[in-house]
């Protein structure tokens, strides 16, 4: 039989139990969590946008506590919230694709965002013949021009004349900054990114990026306007933009062509094609055309 005193004790025990549950839930909903030593800390998040839907995103903390989410059907993204500040091992997986991996740092009250390009284990391609296909921009260099660069957003061409001056449509260039033009002038191999916000410069052993747009538009991982993207012992033979994936490049090395993530030190590198000695002919409308073993081959880019 419950006496008045016992009922009072049960009531206060219920209140204490309810408060013990409610307080953590309340703090969790406002972005707090328990860090090392049971210290209350503001949490952060990791946002992954993948190139495919229903990919599994795994976030592994140092304490081996794994958080799992799948990329959505509409936005192809996943948000893992309420992570204690620190470093996390992140992987994105889907059957039939190479696994994307990255070590990411989570900071309080911020979202650490990355784009995960998932490349199929077997990329679709077909032989289209032995006759050279006509590229969309089959631009012929005028005799008085030493070098040229395509401006992807407009399809126009920036020309460097024999007089060492830059021109666009036979008129002196006055839209691009002097510092940007100087980078182009000094570089042996260079091109504009698809959104024209950076210049990619490369030689046999490295790729460097220079951000030429507003600094607040820089990717989270870039940090500085001048960025060493990739260094390799394997000689680089060609480098191109990866259509619609501004954090990635198409790179020709040795006997293969690869999708290469720009971010270091953990560049994700996936094979798009391996053969004898492939040569990149064009990258247009998410189609990569190459020449290898006396055949022209068209590859659908993931």
For residue 61, pLDDT beyond 50: yes
The reply to whether 4 falls in a domain is no
pLDDT category of residue 62 using cuts at 50, 70 and 90: low
Q: Same structural domain for residues 192 and 69?
A: no
The reply to whether 246 falls in a domain is yes
Q: Same structural domain for residues 137 and 263?
A: yes
| Overall average pLDDT of the 104-114 stretch | 93
Q: Same structural domain for residues 258 and 281?
A: yes
Q: Same structural domain for residues 44 and 139?
A: no
Question: Which of residues 70, 87, 116 is at a domain's end?
Answer: 116
CATH number of 68's domain:
2.60.40.10
The reply to whether 111 falls in a domain is yes
Mean pLDDT of the chain: 86
Q: Same structural domain for residues 44 and 156?
A: no
Q: Which of 125-129, 138-142, 147-151 has the lowest mean pLDDT?
A: 138-142
Q: Same structural domain for residues 154 and 292?
A: yes
Count of positions (residues) in the chain:
302
Task: Give the model's pLDDT for residue 19.
Answer: 46
The reply to whether 112 falls in a domain is yes
pLDDT category of residue 10 using cuts at 50, 70 and 90: low
The reply to whether 26 falls in a domain is no
Q: Same structural domain for residues 50 and 84?
A: yes
Number of domains in the chain: 2
Q: Same structural domain for residues 216 and 275?
A: yes
Q: Same structural domain for residues 136 and 72?
A: no
The reply to whether 17 falls in a domain is no
Based on its alpha-carbon atoms, the radius of gyration of the chain, rounded to whole angstroms, reads 26
Strand 269-274 relative to strand 256-261: parallel, antiparallel, unpaired? antiparallel
Q: Same structural domain for residues 181 and 246?
A: yes
Task: Give the model's pLDDT for residue 252.
Answer: 97
Of 34 and 283, the structure prediction assigns the larger pLDDT to 283
Question: Which of residues 88, 116, 144 is at a domain's end?
Answer: 116
pLDDT category of residue 144 using cuts at 50, 70 and 90: confident
Task: Give the model's pLDDT for residue 63.
Answer: 53
The reply to whether 163 falls in a domain is yes
The reply to whether 264 falls in a domain is yes
236/254 Cα distance (integer angstroms) = 8
Task: Give the model's pLDDT for residue 12.
Answer: 53
For residue 7, pLDDT beyond 70: no
Q: Which of 50-64, 208-222, 283-297 has the lowest mean pLDDT?
A: 50-64
Question: Which of residues 116, 138, 156 is at a domain's end?
Answer: 116
Structural domain boundaries enclosing 64: 36-116
Q: Same structural domain for residues 141 and 68?
A: no
pLDDT tens for residues 261-299? Answer: 999 988 999 999 999 999 999 998 899 999 999 999 999
Q: Is pTM, for the whole model, over 0.75?
A: yes
User: Vertex 243, ends 241 and 246: CA angle to 5°?
Assistant: 65
Q: Same structural domain for residues 148 and 237?
A: yes
């Amino acid at each position: 039989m419950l006496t008045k005193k016992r009922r009072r004790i049960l009531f206060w025990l219920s209140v204490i139990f309810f408060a013990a549950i409610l307080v953590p839930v309340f703090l969790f909903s406002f972005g707090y969590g328990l860090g090392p030593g049971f210290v209350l800390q503001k949490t952060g998040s990791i946002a992954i946008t993948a190139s495919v839907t229903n990919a599994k995103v795994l976030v592994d903390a140092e304490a081996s506590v794994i958080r799992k989410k799948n990329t959505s059907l509409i936005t192809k993204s996943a948000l893992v919230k309420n992570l204690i500040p620190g470093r996390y091992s992140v992987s994105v997986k889907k059957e039939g694709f190479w696994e994307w991996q990255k070590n990411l740092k989570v900071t309080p009250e911020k979202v650490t965002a990355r784009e995960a390009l998932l490349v199929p284990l077997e990329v679709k391609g077909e032989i289209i013949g032995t006759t050279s296909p006509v590229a969309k921009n089959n631009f012929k260099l005028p005799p008085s021009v030493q070098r040229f660069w395509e401006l992807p957003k407009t399809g126009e061409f920036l020309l460097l004349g024999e007089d060492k001056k830059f021109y666009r449509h036979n008129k002196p260039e006055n839209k691009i900054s002097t510092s940007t033009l100087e980078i182009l002038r000094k570089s042996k191999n260079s091109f504009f990114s698809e959104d024209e916000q950076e210049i990619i410069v490369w030689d046999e052993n490295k790729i460097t990026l220079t951000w030429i747009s507003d600094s607040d538009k820089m990717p989270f991982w870039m940090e500085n306007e001048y960025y060493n993207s990739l260094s390799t012992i394997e000689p680089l033979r060609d480098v191109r933009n990866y259509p619609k994936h501004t954090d990635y490049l198409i790179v020709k090395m040795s006997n293969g062509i690869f999708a290469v993530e720009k971010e270091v030190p953990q560049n994700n590198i996936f094979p798009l094609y391996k053969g004898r000695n492939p040569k990149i002919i064009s990258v247009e409308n998410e189609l990569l055309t190459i020449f290898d073993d006396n055949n022209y081959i068209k590859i659908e880019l993931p």
